[in-house]
Amino acid sequence: GESVGLHLPTLSVQEGDNSIINCAYSNSASDYFIWYKQESGKGPQFIIDIRSNMDKRQGQRVTVLLNKTVKHLSLQIAATQPGDSAVYFCAERPDSWGKLQFGAGTQVVVTP
């Protein structure tokens, strides 16, 4: 079936560098995409979202890019900090609000 998937399972980043996490989606009906951060033993924490009629959205130190032509989503984290170490998930909304389809996740490890 259609699914959301991530290219890299683990990403090692040096503190202060920028991080880029990629996500491929296949459900063309999805109109909304969200990035979540999950720390060990905790629930998903909202980072940033983007609607399908946009191609870029910026937050504090984070930017989400959406390329509908190739069905690709990315999260950029500027000046990565140790506190950014976590698993990052992209999620899409094919229909109703809370029924999200999550990708498998990318582990981001920030090294000093």
Residue 22 as a binder of another protein (CB under 8 A): the answer is no
Stretch that binds another protein, among 12-20, 68-76, 77-85, 101-109 (CB under 8 A): 101-109
Kindly state the smallest distance separating residue 84's Cβ from another protein, in Å: 18
Backbone angles phi, psi at 82, to 5 degrees: -55, -35
Site residues for another protein, window 38-97 (CB under 8 A)?
Answer: 41-46, 49, 89, 91, 93, 96-97
Residue 10 as a binder of another protein (CB under 8 A): the answer is no
What single DSSP character describes residue 82? G
Residue 11 as a binder of another protein (CB under 8 A): the answer is no
Backbone angles phi, psi at 5, to 5 degrees: -140, 160
According to DSSP, the β-strands at 10-14 and 106-111 are parallel
Side-chain-side CA neighbours of residue 82 (13 Å): 2
